[in-house]
Amino acid sequence: MSLVVVGSMAFDAIETPFGKSDRIIGGAATYIAWSASNFTQPIKQISVVGGDFPKEELSALEARGVQLEGVQVKENEKSFFWSGKYHMDMNTRDALDTQLNVLANFEPKVPDSYQDCSFLMLGNLVPAIQLQVIEQMKTQPRLVVLDTMNFWMETAMDDLMKVLKRVDVLMVNDSEARELSNEFSLVKAAKKILTMGPKYLIIKKGEHGALLFHSDNVFFAPALPLEDVFDPTGAGDTFAGGFIGHIARTKDISFENMKTAIIYGSAMASFCVEKFGTERLKSLTKEEIDRRMQQFQDLVNFDIELV
């Protein structure tokens, strides 16, 4: 019974209206691992980095119960690098630079010790690579969760459609849901996407919360109203980490438990955006997470008293 996480481990350089970071540690799988490790350990990581990826970052992850047997280190190559700039509304960003580097020829290898995988979290990555990981799994995980993005819809739609047929839960943001379904209404988009493979669909709406769809059921998780969103980079990955972390900890893949998992995801994301990069995630305590979960409950809790 273990959690396997697939995704990039990388460098980011980020500009927001509030400041500018140097080249800092990023990558979907990095955020997912930091987030999920608050809920469950070990985490079995699959990724690739170059020789420039700091060894102390790998050690820090190991100290958090993240196993790195599936992380290839290509000493003579460079790690994936992304640079982007956010605008005031923080929902749109411009990519300033994207250097695939080690990701360009990445061939994931699932170690034998990862074959006990019950929960597979496919972080945002080339769909063909996500598919390779699924295909290397000798037994079907209990739950496969996929995060993806518009870029793959525009450049690798055929592969993405193949991956979709193999996953249980899909996470995308609202504009991606619209793009994938060609429907403007998110309810209609969800109905269409749920015929493409996934049985559960999570639509992330940033500061406007997230929706979970499953057959005719829908659940809405709010986002915590924050004074400042300092840096949204990694918020979606951190959300994914909180979601799958809670599922893996509780070993409960019911719709009811997914609701709670989404609130955990939202709580973790609300921490992520408070500082640049993974900084805030590294210093989190159980008490802080518990307190924030209580804030989410207070935020939406009301009494019905029918007319």
Q: Which residues of this protein are in contact with its own copies, per CB under 8 A? A: 38-39, 88-89, 184-188, 205, 208-209, 211, 218-222, 225-229, 249-250, 256, 259-260, 262-263, 286, 289-290, 293-294, 296-307
**Based on CB atoms, which residue is closest to its own copies, 166 or 292?**
292
Answer whether 22's CB lies under 8 Å from 13's CB: yes
**Based on CB atoms, which residue is closest to its own copies, 79 or 238?**
238
For the bound state, the minimum distance from the C-beta of residue 194 to its own copies, rounded and expressed in Å, comes to 14
Instruction: Please give the structure tokens belonging to residue 241.
Output: 């980490």
**Based on CB atoms, which residue is closest to its own copies, 109 or 251?**
251
For the bound state, the minimum distance from the C-beta of residue 89 to its own copies, rounded and expressed in Å, comes to 8
How many residues belong to the chain? 307
Alpha-carbon gap, residue 178 to 142, rounded angstroms: 28
Contact partners, residue 147, CB within 8 Å, separation at least 6: 7, 28, 121, 122, 123, 124, 171, 172, 236, 237, 240
For the bound state, the minimum distance from the C-beta of residue 251 to its own copies, rounded and expressed in Å, comes to 13
**Based on CB atoms, which residue is closest to its own copies, 276 or 296?**
296
For the bound state, the minimum distance from the C-beta of residue 10 to its own copies, rounded and expressed in Å, comes to 28
Measured between alpha carbons, how far apart are the two ends of the chain, in Å?
Answer: 49
Contact partners, residue 63, CB within 8 Å, separation at least 6: none
**Based on CB atoms, which residue is closest to its own copies, 121 or 263?**
263
CA atoms within 13 Å, Cβ hemisphere of 197: 16
* φ and ψ of 94, to 5 deg: -105, 130
**Based on CB atoms, which residue is closest to its own copies, 76 or 285?**
285
For the bound state, the minimum distance from the C-beta of residue 248 to its own copies, rounded and expressed in Å, comes to 12
For the bound state, the minimum distance from the C-beta of residue 225 to its own copies, rounded and expressed in Å, comes to 5
Answer whether 41's CB lies under 8 Å from 8's CB: no
For the bound state, the minimum distance from the C-beta of residue 249 to its own copies, rounded and expressed in Å, comes to 8
Torsion, CA 29, CA 32, CA 37, CA 43, rounded to 10: -40
Question: Sign (positive/negative) of CA torsion 126, 20, 281, 11?
Answer: positive
**Based on CB atoms, which residue is closest to its own copies, 38 or 67?**
38
Encoded amino acid at 302, one letter: F
For the bound state, the minimum distance from the C-beta of residue 160 to its own copies, rounded and expressed in Å, comes to 24
Alpha-carbon gap, residue 112 to 133, rounded angstroms: 12
Could you tell me which of 135, 147, 143 has the C-alpha nearest to residue 110?
135
* Beta strands 43-50 and 66-74, pairing class: parallel
**Based on CB atoms, which residue is closest to its own copies, 22 or 256?**
256
Q: Tokens 């979709």: give the residue.
A: 164
